[in-house]
Structure 1
Amino acid sequence: MNWETVSFDWNQARAFLATAEEGSLSAAARALNVTQPTLSRQVSALETELNIVLFERGTRNMLLTEAGLELLDHVRAMFEAASRMSLSASGQSQSIKGSVKLSTTNTLATYHLPAIIEVIREQAPEIEITITTSNLVRDLTRREADISIRHGRPTQPELIAKLIRETTARFYASTEFLDRIGRPRSPDDLKDAVFLGFENLEQLIAAYGEYGVHLTRKNFPINSASGTAINEMVRRGLGIGTLLQEDAALFPELELVLPDLEPIPVPIWIVTHRELHTSRRIRLVFDLLTEHLANI
């Protein structure tokens, strides 16, 4: 279909754009200060006018269809052009406001994100930020988050991923723990040591093996999906943990185990959904996160 030849109501277009950017009818209705039934009728009327389906129904969130994604760029361009005209006439800058949902690991959220959120709040105080902690990327594909910060690159074609930088992870333990068991001098000295494990333990053991540290499940009596929980247990002398160098540097009571052992590279990726990347508020947060996470 040639979208440029289609004529439709501006209120319907605005309802469609808000629903696409907010991800649900209820959030879009709040953003536009209208009732949800009114907004739903406007979106349905636009679909009838165009004779296409713009959103997939039956899910908690409003997911754009292929036709909806195609239309989104045109509608957004229309409103941005109208906004530029208005700004030019009034001489006022456009405010950036609305909701942005972030998903990241709990260590990044706890140790490093607060300082960046402070910068975002200073530059765009009308943006509402919601932070969830998760090790999965499905929150993006399900539209449960707008931006995700991860240590692995996603493969889904609908996602945009940018490598911020690579950091490293190494073995750390508390001084008290090493005073108790002795300081290992070689990987063989670790064969009976207590380690703290993450999710996918078999994968973790295999990864350690590639670095010459050969362990079994018996080395991991304690496991957790929470990075902050692991870090705290390492600090309390419960075992050896694999920590990011930036996290370990926060705790002077921790010592590097086997300093000569090659560090494990850990990438930091920032990810968003491809059509959300053109939202002004999401782009602002995306860019600020990218800038400041590069320097932690």
Structure 2
Amino acid sequence: MNWQSISFDWSHIRAFLATAEEGSLSAAARVLGQTQPTLGRQVTALEEELGVTLFERTGRALILTQPGAELLDHARAMRDAAMRVSLVASGQSQAIEGTVRITASEVYCAFVLPPVLLRLREIAPKLVVDLVSADDVRDLQQREADIAIRHVRPEQPDLIARLVAEATAGLYGAPSYLNRRGRPTSVEDLKTHDFVSFGQVPRMVEFFADQGVALQPENFRMGSASGVAAWAMVEQGLGLSLMADQVARRSTAVEQVVSDLQPVSFPVWLTTHRELHTARRIRLVFDLLADFLAQDVASSGVVKGAPPR
């Protein structure tokens, strides 16, 4: 394919990129705030402009063709380049410097945020990022952090917050544990299994009781207040645990178990101080995080069954 001889509409590339990353026209339409028919027309127009088929359409599923997979890498590079061009045009690119403190849970800091920090370093290489890994809520008003990722909406009037995604979570275990203890096929089966607790056992017991599973403290013989340590226990086969799907899908050491728990979703809020949001470096990081988290949650799939960490 001779890419140099082709011109196309950037909106068509955005439509293709969102569809490829979200897996369907309906999901891509939600991300871009467009209607599904409009998005479908844009993808079709791009295929006509390029003279190739980008997706194989099987029922409602869309599967990238080989030309589509080739274009996907270029489209992602174009998106990042467009962001850099925008910054240069407004005099903000290489000039953005200073420190931005981002606070999130241990699990988010360890497993979710590193890819977006890599992108941020490419866009604003002079920026210094301090990632505050904490499962407690840090006070933005006291400047303990500049930006916070939270799962509850902040109520303080001096803060601004954006709901960037509705994430899901599920119940996971290592194959080594499941091969040894058996794979539960119903909520009732869970009563005989070992669990790894994230934090306080009574809260875990209370959650499962709300789901109709009568677990006892004795089911939670392993656990840690550290989310990273507890998740490592799960991966090593010490028991089952709840985990955000966007984290679990990154692990090759676990599989999802029990499909008939009540589906549960949880919000992902991005929060900063109203005053700080006007700073160029804060606004850049805030917007980049919002875009990344929305796409990351969407790409984790429809997997439900547990509360957030």
Equivalent residue for 2:82?
A: none
Whole-Å separation in 2 of the counterparts to 1:244 and 1:287: 22
Equivalent residue for 2:301?
A: none
Number of equivalenced pairs: 206
Whole-Å separation in 2 of the counterparts to 1:158 and 1:226: 30
Are the structure 2 counterparts of residues 137 and 92 from structure 1 closer, same or farther at C-alpha, using a change threshold of 3 Å? closer
Superposed CA offset, 1:46-70 (max 9, x none): xxxxxxxxxxxxxxxxxxxxxxxxx
Letter in 2 for 1:201: V
Letter in 2 for 1:169: A
Equivalent residue for 2:203?
A: 203
2:107 alignment partner, SS class = helix
Whole-Å separation in 1 of the counterparts to 2:110 and 2:90: 37
1:8-87 correspondence to structure 2 within 5 Å:
none
The reply to whether residue 153 of structure 1 matches residue 153 of structure 2 is yes
Whole-Å separation in 2 of the counterparts to 1:204 and 1:269: 23
Shift of 1:266: 2.2
Equivalent residue for 1:109?
A: 109
1:120 alignment partner, SS class = helix
Whole-Å separation in 2 of the counterparts to 1:273 and 1:253: 38
Letter in 2 for 1:174: A
Whole-Å separation in 1 of the counterparts to 2:199 and 2:140: 20
1:166 alignment partner, SS class = strand
Letter in 1 for 2:259: P
Shift of 1:226: 2.0
Whole-Å separation in 2 of the counterparts to 1:203 and 1:276: 35
Shift of 1:283: 0.8
1:176-187 correspondence to structure 2 within 5 Å:
176-187=176-187
Equivalent residue for 2:91?
A: 93
Whole-Å separation in 2 of the counterparts to 1:137 and 1:159: 14
Alignment check: 8 A CA contact 2:200 2:225 kept = no
Letter in 1 for 2:91: S
Whole-Å separation in 2 of the counterparts to 1:113 and 1:138: 17
Whole-Å separation in 1 of the counterparts to 2:291 and 2:267: 15
TM-score with structure 2 setting the length? 0.63
Letter in 1 for 2:228: T
Whole-Å separation in 1 of the counterparts to 2:165 and 2:120: 20
Equivalent residue for 2:215?
A: 215
1:195-274 correspondence to structure 2 within 5 Å:
195-274=195-274
Are the structure 2 counterparts of residues 165 and 208 from structure 1 closer, same or farther at C-alpha, using a change threshold of 3 Å? same
Whole-Å separation in 1 of the counterparts to 2:167 and 2:253: 21
The percentage of aligned residue pairs carrying the same residue is 42
Are the structure 2 counterparts of residues 208 and 157 from structure 1 closer, same or farther at C-alpha, using a change threshold of 3 Å? farther
Query: Aligned-pair RMSD on alpha carbons?
Result: 1.8
Shift of 1:178: 0.9
Superposed CA offset, 1:164-204 (max 9, x none): 10111111111111111111122221113111112243233
1:279-294 correspondence to structure 2 within 5 Å:
279-294=279-294
Equivalent residue for 1:194?
A: 194
The worse-fitting range, judged by mean Cα deviation, of 281-290 and 119-128 is: 119-128
Shift of 1:92: 8.8
Shift of 1:158: 2.3
Alignment check: 8 A CA contact 1:135 1:150 kept = no
TM-score with structure 1 setting the length? 0.65
Letter in 1 for 2:247: D
Whole-Å separation in 2 of the counterparts to 1:146 and 1:281: 10
The worse-fitting range, judged by mean Cα deviation, of 199-208 and 280-289 is: 199-208
Letter in 2 for 1:100: V
Larger of the two Rg values belongs to structure: 1
Alignment check: 8 A CA contact 1:148 1:270 kept = yes
The reply to whether residue 132 of structure 1 matches residue 138 of structure 2 is no
Letter in 2 for 1:183: R
1:144 alignment partner, SS class = coil
Structure 2: segments with no counterpart, 5+ residues? 1-88, 297-309
1:295 alignment partner, SS class = helix
Structure 1: segments with no counterpart, 5+ residues? 1-90
2:117 alignment partner, SS class = helix
Shift of 1:154: 2.2
Are the structure 2 counterparts of residues 152 and 258 from structure 1 closer, same or farther at C-alpha, using a change threshold of 3 Å? same
